[in-house]
A = this chain, B = another copy of it.
Amino acid sequence: MKNSLLLDTGSGGRASRRLVAECFFRHFDNPLLGRMDDAAFLEDIRPPIAMSTDSYTVTPLFFPGGSIGTLAVHGTVNDVSMLGARPQYLSCAFVLEEGLSLELLERVTADMAKAAKEAGVLIVTGDTKVVPCGACDKMFITTTGVGSVFADPAPSGHNAQPGDAVLVSGSMGDHGLTVMRSREHLSFLTDVASDSAPLNKMIAAVIELAGPVHVLRDPTRGGLAATLNEIAEQSGVSLVLEEEYIPVRESVKSGCSCLGLDPLYLANEGKCVCILPAERAEAALAAMRNFPFGAEAARIGEVTATGKKPRVTLKTRIGGSRLLSMPEGMPLPRIC
């Protein structure tokens, strides 16, 4: 552990995992935390409840397709959903900078209210701290969501099995590229927008129509690459993906090639990865495609037994094969 915190520690990649393992897990050690899923499974409460929290620090506060307010609701709703739970209640804590425009706070609040209504969740408790000018950058929002787990067994990053199909619910990289565009004023990226969306109803439909799934995850910070590497490691399996089946919008593809980025490492805020027995993959895809933000759902690969160590491999369009490694370093902080 180095002596001071670097930006990449918040990236969702290797450095994040080191901090979590070496500092937080070591001190807070308990089996529920140790599962490292998107939400915690509160098994002592009956029926079991899923709980998840995220701080939102995105800059700029508004971007095409959403705002810090929509993210703060969608992100936490989605994390609770990833445990096969129905998100019901959110708490919401604001840290606000003295001098913040109240009109801006009101716009963010209205975005949160609209997103909560769309997702069917209630914001039931909260907190507001105001810190002196300069002590935070405009506003940070932390939401925590809880909801009853309906999937039995509940999906977990530990449950991927060799032979399972790997699905994504739509195109990759939209959110990350959109935030970069907004922050850096990249005016040539005219047709990108965040994919921020609540996935809870889609997830409920998938489980209802396709039966229990092994893994659900939303590929946010670190993108698809980080999420699939985490799953491979947690489940002790390897994943083989077909590059040509991974949906990426043309606008994102061309933006990424201009900027030298890989869309598989960019954050998504309205997409999920779903891993389930191959024979039920088509039913799950059909369920996803019933929702506007699941229209481009695709089967992108499969789970295989692992060799020496868990890895994620991409079969490229030209017949080659490359390792999709865990991201190291931080291309873009404050995307969510």
Contact = CB atoms under 8 A, between A and B. Distances in A.
A89 B45 CA distance: 10
Interface stretch (A132-140, A202-210, A257-265): A132-140
Contacts of A57: 95, 129, 131, 135-136
Contacts of A229: none
A184 interface: no
A311 B93 CA distance: 29
Interface in A124-155: 124-132, 134-137, 140, 142, 144, 146, 148
B132 A135 contact: no
A7 B132 CA distance: 7
A34 to B, nearest CB: 9
A140 B132 contact: no
A216 interface: no
A42 B93 CA distance: 18
Given A27-B112, A113-B27, A142 B40 contact: no
Contacts of A135: 57, 59, 136-137, 334
Interface in A27-79: 27-28, 30, 32-33, 39-40, 42, 44-45, 49, 51-57, 59
A7 B98 contact: yes
Interface string A1-19: 1111111111100001001
A102 B55 contact: no
Contacts of A42: 88-89, 124, 146
A55 B123 contact: no
Nearest to A46: B47
Given A42-B88, A129-B140, A142-B142, 20 more contacts: A1-B102, A3-B103, A9-B128, A23-B106, A28-B113, A33-B123, A40-B124, A44-B88, A49-B146, A51-B91, A57-B95, A93-B142, A93-B144, A95-B95, A130-B333, A131-B137, A132-B333, A132-B334, A136-B140, A142-B144
